[in-house]
Structure 1
Amino acid sequence: MRIRPLRAAVAALALAATAACSLNANPTTSAKPGSLAAGVSLKGATFTVGSKEFTEQLVLCHITSLALQSAGATVREKCGLSGSDTTRTALTSGSIDMYWEYTGTAWINYLKHTDPIPDAARQYQAVAQQDLAANHVRWLDASPANNTYAIAVKASTARELGVSTLSDYARLTHTDPAKASLCAASEFLGRNDGLPGLERAYGFTVTPANLAEGAIYNAVANNNPCNFGEADTTDGRISGLGLTVLTDDRNFFPIYNPALTLREDVYQAHPDLAKIANPIAAALTTDVLQQLNAAVDIKGQDPAQVAQTWLQDKGFVGR
């Protein structure tokens, strides 16, 4: 479904308002006990749940908050913190107790490795072991979803330009730079697993337009100001706006499986947190995350309500 510009703008403003209101706020929704609370009690425990600022993270923040509430915990939300480094620092400094992080992000950004491990299970094990040993950060089970970076283009534009892989795109940057115009957000422009590494891996350089992450999808769909753009593979706007993802034929982009991360002291005080989070992680496939993200970004629904509806439909929390 193609979104009209006005509707897209309204949705973007609504999402921004939701993120802003979520910071330092008490939850706007509550949850009754469901399957997650069976045999688990967090009564008397208080947690601060955080997240980064983009849609998927907001939904995951609310999912976690509601799940904890269903088991009797008191929860404070700091959903919508600005960027990976800010959110990670909030965790390690004690400003928040937990948030969902991605294996590839931690391996490269926090553990300072250059090369990702191409096997998802081995990558998770390496991240979980090293982050715990070096930083006292505990990783609960990882989701099977892979929210990796990608380069997206409108499907009709891809056909017109004959571009289906990142190698095709690299050739286009040399033969027709104007048609290879790229939009990307600040974080992607500065990360080794973002544009700098992509350029090295595929042998091209490009001068991108720097846009807010949420604006990139509509920019690509409208071919203004770019034909190509940074994307996340679990983003619902890819299918919703008629975009397609270029095949990473050199397997550059790391695997980004999300998992709930928390400080080791929090986990040791409340080991039952794994019984709450692990079933959620197992249910979060790539398709599920695309649907949850689309409910916010395409249908304009509130992230907290999307989270609550999904948890209730799964029986994880009560109605």
Structure 2
Amino acid sequence: MKIKKIMIYTLFTALLGTILAGCGGNSKDGAAGGGSITIGSKNFTENVLLAHMMADLIEDQTDISVKRQMNLGGSNVAWTALENNEIQLFPDYTGTIVANYYQEKTGTSEESLAKARELAGADGLIFLEPFGINNTYTLAVTRATAEKYSLKTFSDLAKVSADMVLGVEFEFLDREDGYPGIKKLYGMNFKESKGMDHGIMYRAIDDGETDVTNAYATDAQIKVHDLVILEDDKEFFPPYDAGPVIRQETLDQHPELKEVLNQMGGVITETEMQDLNAKVDVDALKEEDVARDFLISKGLIKD
């Protein structure tokens, strides 16, 4: 009988502790009232950096306990994790949301943002204020080439393309959203076009074997090789504006997150993102350190 009473008391104590813990939640310093959130990222440098920035900001300005699950995998893996509530927040891109997850057509940056918000919102996922970077495809030339031909836009390039060699990734030569499409819209006709691996492209343009290459707008290699990005003045490439995507139910539980995360709205330029990516990919600094230092430099968190 005595043993039975001890067992009942032990079970009651454990149950009471669980109830109290559930009511109180967890804060960043262990105090009650903060709750918790899991932030994820895709498996490339830029996305990891952006996820760390959001995590740092939340930890600095709220009592919410943050768990970080970086390098989850590709876009579909991270999106599925968000849908399944395995993570509650991660950085994504308007073009990816509209074209990849929902197979809809993109438009301008403004149209794609509105479409991404509409489509994701119907599934209880909220796209907050974009960070300021559009990590889209682009064309780039050396600084010397840009100065020699006064190149600023794709239209400028089209006028002198007959004198130039294009060196791009293999698939870019054949995809309709690559060279064939650009050729139709801008009337570009290079004297030669070469397909090559991503890493070789930059070596080729450095060595003067090619004059023009394709790139991502925030690629660290743009900075490393001192290339000049040309403006897609007819907006051929779809926009990939980056921003926080969060579950609606998470915002309902923690409404302060909207104001906190929106402080990152428009705070990062493509050039700054190139620099940040280069610090990791070239200088071998840790993503979490680079992310935190950037937020401090912007006055968003304290040192």
TM-score normalized by the length of structure 1: 0.68
> SS at 2:128's partner residue?
strand
Larger RCO, structures 1/2 (Cα 8 Å, 6+ apart): 1
Change (3 A) 1:180 1:75: same
Specify the alignment match of 1:265 in structure 2: 249
Paired position in structure 2 for 1:58: 48
Q: 2:196 is matched by which residue type in structure 1?
A: A
Equivalenced residues, count: 270
> Equivalent residue for 1:209?
196
**Paired position in structure 1 for 2:300:** 316
Deviation at 1:231, TM superposition (A): 1.7
Q: What per-residue deviation string (whole Å, max 9, x for no partner) do you get for residues 166-214 of structure 1?
A: 46767888x689x322136x7x789875567546645779663243xxx
User: For residues 227-268 of structure 1, what are the alpha-carbon distances to aligned partners after superposition, in whole Å with 9 as ceiling and x for unaligned?
Assistant: 543322233432342212234243202233211002222222
Could you tell me which of 211, 217, 224 is aligned with 1:233? 217
1:138 corresponds to 2:122: no
Q: Distance in 1 between matches of 2:44 and 2:57?
A: 20
Change (3 A) 1:91 1:207: farther
For residues 1-319 of structure 1, the aligned pairs below 5 Å read 43-47=34-38, 49-70=39-60, 71-114=62-105, 116-118=106-108, 120-133=109-122, 135-156=123-144, 166=154, 179-183=165-169, 197-198=181-182, 201-202=185-186, 208-211=195-198, 215=199, 218-223=202-207, 228-319=212-303
State the distance in 1 between where 2:101 and 2:175 align: 12
CA-atom RMSD in angstroms: 3.6
- Given that 1:181 and 1:226 are in contact with CA atoms closer than 8 Å, whether structure 2 keeps it comes out as yes
1:237 touches 1:294 (CA, 8 Å); kept in 2? yes
Task: Tell me the distance in 2 between the aligned counterparts of 1:190 and 1:278.
Answer: 39
Structure 2 distance, partners of 1:264, 1:253, is 30
What amino acid is aligned across from residue 46 of structure 1 in structure 2?
A: I
Letter of the structure 1 residue corresponding to residue 239 of structure 2: I
TM-score, normalised via structure 2 length: 0.71
The unaligned stretches of length 5 or more in structure 1 are: 1-31, 34-40
Structure 1 residue 150: deviation in Å?
A: 0.6
* 1:303 positional shift: 1.6
Q: Please state whether the residue corresponding to 2:134 is helix, strand or coil.
A: coil
Deviation of the 1:307 alpha carbon: 0.8
The percentage of aligned residue pairs carrying the same residue is 29
Structure 2: 5+ residue runs without aligned partners? 1-27
